[in-house]
Amino acid sequence: MTHSLAVTLCLLSALCVVKSEKKLTVTGDEDGSVSISCTYSEGYEKNAKYFCKEEKKLLGTKCVDLIKTEEHNTRVTNERVSLYDDTSARIFTVTIKRLSLDDAGKYFCGVKRSIVRDIYTEVDLQVKEVLGSVKSAEKLSVIADEGGPVSISCIYSQGYETNAKYFCKEEKKVLSTTCVDLIKTDQHNTRYTDGRFSLFDNTSARVFTVTIMGVTLEDAGKYFCGVKRIIISDKYTEVDLHVKQALGSVKSAEKLTVTGKQGGTVSISCIYSKGYETNKKYFCKEENKLFTTKCVDLIKTEEHKARVTEGRFSLYDDTSARVFTVTITGLTLEDAGKYYCGVKRIIVRDEYSEVDLQVKEAAGTEFVFLLDGSGSISHEDFVKAKNFISNVMQKTWRNCSDCRFAVVQYGSDIRTELSLNENDPPATAVNKVKNITQIYKSTRTASAIHYVLEHVFVAENGSKKDANKIMTVLTDGRILLDPMNLKDVLSSPKIRNITRFAIGVGSEFNNPKTAAELNDIASDAKHVFKAGHYGALDCFVPVLVQRITGIKGASELPSQENIKLC
């Protein structure tokens, strides 16, 4: 449907004057999401609401509807656009996902009126271009001078100290792209050299540093420093190397652009010149004052080959590699900004490297409950199961603001009762769970798991690529009348990065075959819970909440022996 925006002259009544509550200017990032909230006056709570985009035609200007609804206090979705009308606040909110540059323009969110002209709010949507996506845990942009040396330092995770390390350059062929090794070694804590390239793997700091001598303009390009892994794909850091033509002096040995994730850890490694191994090293953040700019020290030390820690910051000076590495834990969005890692010098100006730290907002945790609604479960027990899910949601949200839930019920049918996009406001999400109507009949557990993989953990329904994904199956017995095979579903590549819990309720799980099926559903034995009856589920709430919030960044879950028997 379209709405005419032409100016109308009304001589008989002031009622046909167009009323705009306010004019909004909203900015979103390309590939991101944006929400636009529009107020309306008392008395229009039950009117239809819509959101349209202005399009200029040959003979006039029209506003083309993107979404329109008469529903209230529930989220309505039309492809990338959703609308939620909160009648108590008299605000309806439009959310647009997967923004593109073409989405920029003028919009109107309107309230439909029968006799007089609609009420609307004008919206100017601006979309900021995103230059690229980070494919690795850290992406480095390194600047080197033609003819000089450059060092590139990459961190790796605990447990990979003895793995082979390598450095390769991306080369594009006619039909493919390959990464050609420039240097590779199994040696650790010693410098390995191959032509112009050398590699030093510092296992205590878990940083390996590649140095290129005699840098040429042709060396510019994309590189990867990687850790060799046997079964799973290699861990790597993408490096964008820029080479500046030797026209003058450069104040810092290199300029780094480092990207980390909110709540995560990032390491920043800076090289320094020969002869400054014993000098004091420091790391500071640039702060703009009223009339001046200062760099405030965050950590400073004269110690070498020993990790020094101050709060969230640590510094390790590897004098043999002439690299000192600063690590920041518990990253926040406020940590983003300009930093300098410097070498203290007495007479001349300090040697330093400029660091541009960017912090990406955390994708959070996505938790899906698969609720058994088969006919073997009484109405009273089904209510207890819903209350259990509601309790887990509410107690998780107290400590995890970026945790989102979905609920899928399965029986003779499979349906989404709560989507990942329906968590705001939380009270509405909890009420939606409590009002679920039981399906009854069969127990199609395998089909339900397959449904989650295909319809819940997908971008078009609100799932984020980098989010921690957790699935919990709550059931009272074995699979019944399911056309799909459980082992086939569990072998899907889409399930590999999903943590799976299995909760079995009732005496049916004393049967070895039923218990084995429950074990197959879970990721491992630590993720299996058993309750004697539905009333006992509440004692699992604190354990499950701890494991939901603990999975983010936790290296190991608590042992099964610590779980209270219910």
pLDDT for res 552: 39
CATH of 23-128, one of 2.60.40.10, 2.70.150.10, 3.30.70.3420, 3.40.225.10: 2.60.40.10
Residue 2: pLDDT band by 50, 70, 90 thresholds? low
CA distances from 544 to 348, 370, 424 (A): 58, 15, 22
Q: What tokens appear for 168 in the block? A: 């390769």
Q: What is the mean pLDDT of residues 64-90?
A: 93
Residue 358: pLDDT band by 50, 70, 90 thresholds? very high
Residue 187 gets which letter from DSSP?
-
**Residue 525 in 3-state DSSP?**
helix
pLDDT at 11 over 50: no
Rounded to the nearest 10 degrees, the angle between the axes of helix 379-399 and helix 541-551 is: 40
Helices (H) and strands (E) in the chain, counts: 6, 34
Which CATH code is given to the segment(s) 365-564? 3.40.50.410
Which CATH code is given to the segment(s) 140-244? 2.60.40.10
3-state secondary structure 292-329: CEEEEEEEEECCCCCCEEECCEEEEEECCCCEEEEEEC
Element (H, E) at 442: none
Residue 234 gets which letter from DSSP?
P
Which CATH code is given to the segment(s) 257-360? 2.60.40.10
pLDDT for res 133: 33
pLDDT for res 262: 83
pLDDT at 516 over 80: yes
Terminal CA-CA length for the chain:
57
Ordered by start, the domain boundaries in the chain are 23-128, 140-244, 257-360, 365-564
Say yes or no: do domains 257-360 and 365-564 share a fold: no
Over the stretch 91-150, which tens digit does the pLDDT of each residue have? 999 999 978 777 899 999 999 998 888 888 999 999 987 643 333 346 888 988 877 899
**What letter represents residue 269's amino acid?**
S
pLDDT for res 229: 80
pLDDT at 346 over 80: no
CA pair distance 295, 308, nearest whole angstrom: 20
Residue 158: pLDDT band by 50, 70, 90 thresholds? confident
Q: Is the dihedral of CA 152, 155, 156, 158 positive or negative?
A: positive
CA pair distance 97, 397, nearest whole angstrom: 23
Sequence-separated (6 or more) residues with CB below 8 Å from residue 246:
145, 146, 147, 148
pTM, entire model: 0.43
CA pair distance 202, 151, nearest whole angstrom: 14
pLDDT at 558 over 60: no
